[in-house]
Structures are given as C-alpha cells and as structure tokens.
C-alpha cells in the first residue's frame, strides 16, 4: 500500500532527468530516469511534469515535489539564474510557479550540490558527531556544499560552497566560469580528459575514458602528470575549504571520484599534513551514488526548504 504522504525528488541533469519517489519515513518507493530534452526550458519543464503525472498514475499523487538543478537559483528560489548544461532560456522563467501549476504540487527548487549534501548528511554518510562537513562531487565539473552546525547551508546568491571555482593556481588554466586556475579547471572530469588529450595521451572516447587515462598513467609520464595535477588541485582546494569551514569531515562523491580513488588518497595525505591546524578530518565516500541528487530533492520537498538533514534514515 502506498503511504499517505510521499515526496517526489527530481534531479535535472544535462543528460538525464532522474527521479526518486520517497515515503515520509525515507523509504524509497521507486526510482527511474528519462532523457533530458534538448529543445529548451518549456520542453524540459513538460518532461518533469510528465514524470509527476506518471508517478501519480502509478503510485498515487505525491505530496510535494523537489527539483535539484545543476545551476544557481534566484534569491526567492522561484527561478534559475544560471543553468549552463541544460537547454533553454532559464533566466527570467518562473520555473517553480510553472511546475507547481502544471503538477498541482508544491514545488521546491535547489542546487544539485546542495541536494547531494542534504541526502548524504541526512541518511547515508556516517558523519557521526561532526557538524561541519564539506561535500564535494567530481563529475564533468566539481560541485561543492557545506554543512555548518549540522545543516546544509544555502545563500541568497546560491553560490555558497562553490569550491570548484576557488583558484588554486595563480594565473593557471582557464576555467569555464571565466576565472583562471580553478580547482575544476584541473580536477573536473571534462578538464582532466581535455588536458590529457592536449598532451597527446590517447584517451578513449565515451564511458571508458577515465579507465584508459588511469591505465596510460602507469607508463606514460604525460598522463601521470595530468592526474597528479588534478589530484593536487583537488586536495589543495578541498583542504582550503576545510580550513575555512573548520570541517571535521569531507564527503566525496560523483562518478569520477568512484573511478579514480587517487582523489581521496591525495586529499587524505594533504589533510594529514595540515593536521596541526585542521585537526583530524575524515574523508568519506558518498554512500548514495547517482541517487543522491534526487533523494536530496525529495528530502528538501519534505522539509519545505533546503536546511534539512536531521532525523531521517534513507533506506536503499
């Protein structure tokens, strides 16, 4: 029997719209994904509304809807100011109101790194007794979020915790954000592969790219160098974030981090060298994998806002 109150979390990505339908106690009822349309913001919004309608038909109407987006929100959280990897003219488009109108549900928008953090803090990562936590995801780019006093923090500009765009190399590599020397410009998945190819490393196209780079690094100095620079940029940026936040734990997630354990290893080394200032900082692997964004969005819908994370046990 479907529980009385349920929450639908949507993780809007450049390639997939992932969803997870969650009961009030955190139990997952169902999950799935559909391809993200490429025809603009109206088409994308319709695709999300269609997921809601399908869930309502199959399992009963959700109580609320949360949508995690790979971009920044307006201060009122009713629209999106920056959404580089999804087609459409999002700036000025009242995404939350349109979705609420199309679905008949109360809708909550949040940044996807914040959603990841809400999910991993709320039930997955065993961050026992640690209230200040740095969350970082390594995918195509680098997402970041911070929890302070046990709550994931968001800001009016919605850029709080954006550690991928902190500079770690003076006048370094150009970054997609317009800056130079950002962590993401060395350690993001796209940058990592582009830098390897630019140095003549034969990186396979598609899904095997990271594996082929890791293999090449065993014998080719150029490949090893690119990986070392990625790991170092990551370790410096994240340990700086730990210093800034006084964090006692880092949760590392994302597909690139799963494929290349060197990121976490180098971070542990660097943190231990800075122990005198930072104290012991645990480096934890994210526990929810690619589900974290949609789960975090569902939890945010349940809480009605993004400052959540307490008292809920997520069950796989």
Q: Is 163 in the site for Zn ion (CB under 5 A)?
A: no
- Quote the least distance from Cβ 176 to Zn ion, whole Å: 6
* Cβ atoms 63, 23 nearer than 8 A: no
Site string for Zn ion, 274-313 (x = CB under 5 A): ----------------------------------------
The one segment of 29-37, 152-160, 165-173, 234-242 that binds Zn ion by CB under 5 A = 165-173
Site string for Zn ion, 167-196 (x = CB under 5 A): --------x-x-x--x--------------
36 or 140: CB nearest Zn ion:
140
Site string for Zn ion, 190-229 (x = CB under 5 A): ----------------------------------------
The order of strands in the sheet holding 64-69 is 28-35, 16-23, 6-12, 64-69, 106-111
DSSP string, 171-196: T-SB-TTS-BSBSHHHHSHHHHHHHH
79 or 141: CB nearest Zn ion:
141
By CB under 5 A, how many residues form the interface with Zn ion?
5
175 or 227: CB nearest Zn ion:
175
- Quote the least distance from Cβ 14 to Zn ion, whole Å: 17
169 or 177: CB nearest Zn ion:
177
DSSP 124: I
Residue 204 phi, psi (nearest 5): -65, 145
The Cα–Cα gap between 235 and 163 comes to 11
182 or 192: CB nearest Zn ion:
182
Kindly calculate the radius of gyration of the chain based on its CA atoms and give it in whole angstroms: 19
- Quote the least distance from Cβ 82 to Zn ion, whole Å: 12
148 or 177: CB nearest Zn ion:
177
Identify the residue among 18, 96, 114, 165 touching Zn ion (CB under 5 A).
Answer: 165
* Cβ atoms 289, 11 nearer than 8 A: no
- Quote the least distance from Cβ 226 to Zn ion, whole Å: 18
Site string for Zn ion, 115-154 (x = CB under 5 A): ----------------------------------------
The Cα–Cα gap between 62 and 46 comes to 17
131 or 229: CB nearest Zn ion:
229
3 state SS of 95: helix
The Cα–Cα gap between 142 and 17 comes to 19
* Cβ atoms 174, 188 nearer than 8 A: no
Q: Is the dihedral of CA 191, 194, 199, 203 positive or negative?
A: positive
- Angstrom distances, CA of residue 183 to CA of 140, 170, 265: 12, 11, 17
The Cα–Cα gap between 230 and 169 comes to 11
Q: Is the dihedral of CA 37, 81, 149, 164 positive or negative?
A: positive
- Quote the least distance from Cβ 152 to Zn ion, whole Å: 22
Q: 200 exposed, middle or buried (CB, 10 Å; 0-12, 13-18, 19+)?
A: exposed
- Quote the least distance from Cβ 173 to Zn ion, whole Å: 9
84 or 208: CB nearest Zn ion:
84
- Quote the least distance from Cβ 158 to Zn ion, whole Å: 16
130 or 235: CB nearest Zn ion:
235
Interface residues with Zn ion (CB under 5 A)?
Answer: 165, 175, 177, 179, 182
């Amino acid at each position: 029997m479907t529980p009385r109150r349920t929450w639908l979390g949507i993780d809007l990505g450049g390639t997939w719209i992932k969803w997870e339908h969650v009961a009030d106690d955190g139990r997952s009822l169902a999950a799935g994904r559909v391809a993200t349309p490429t025809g603009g913001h109206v088409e994308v919004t319709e695709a999300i509304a269609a997921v809601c309608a399908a869930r309502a038909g199959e399992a009963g109407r959700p109580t609320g809807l949360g949508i995690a987006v790979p971009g920044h929100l307006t201060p009122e959280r009713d629209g999106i100011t920056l959404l580089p990897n999804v087609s459409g003219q999002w700036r000025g488009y009242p995404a939350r109101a349109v979705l609420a109108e199309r679905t008949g549900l109360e809708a909550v928008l949040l940044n996807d790194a914040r959603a990841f953090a809400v999910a991993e803090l709320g039930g997955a990562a065993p961050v026992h007794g640690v209230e200040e936590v740095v969350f970082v995801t390594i995918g195509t780019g680098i997402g970041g979020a911070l929890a302070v006093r046990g709550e994931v923090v968001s800001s009016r500009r919605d850029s709080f915790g954006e550690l991928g765009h902190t500079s770690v190399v003076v006048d370094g590599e150009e970054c997609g954000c317009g800056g130079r020397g950002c962590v993401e410009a060395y350690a993001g998945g796209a940058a990592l592969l582009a830098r390897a190819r630019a140095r003549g490393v034969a990186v396979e196209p598609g899904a095997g790219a990271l594996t082929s780079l890791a293999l090449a690094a065993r014998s080719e100095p150029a490949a090893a160098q690119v990986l070392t620079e990625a790991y170092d940029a990551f370790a410096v940026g994240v340990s700086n974030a730990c210093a800034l936040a006084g964090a006692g734990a880092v949760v590392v997630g994302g597909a690139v981090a799963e494929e290349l354990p060197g990121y976490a290893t180098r971070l542990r080394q660097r943190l231990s060298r800075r122990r005198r200032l930072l104290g012991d900082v645990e480096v934890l692997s994210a526990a929810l994998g690619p589900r974290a964004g949609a789960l975090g969005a569902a939890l945010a819908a349940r809480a009605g806002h993004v400052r959540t994370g307490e008292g809920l046990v997520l069950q796989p």
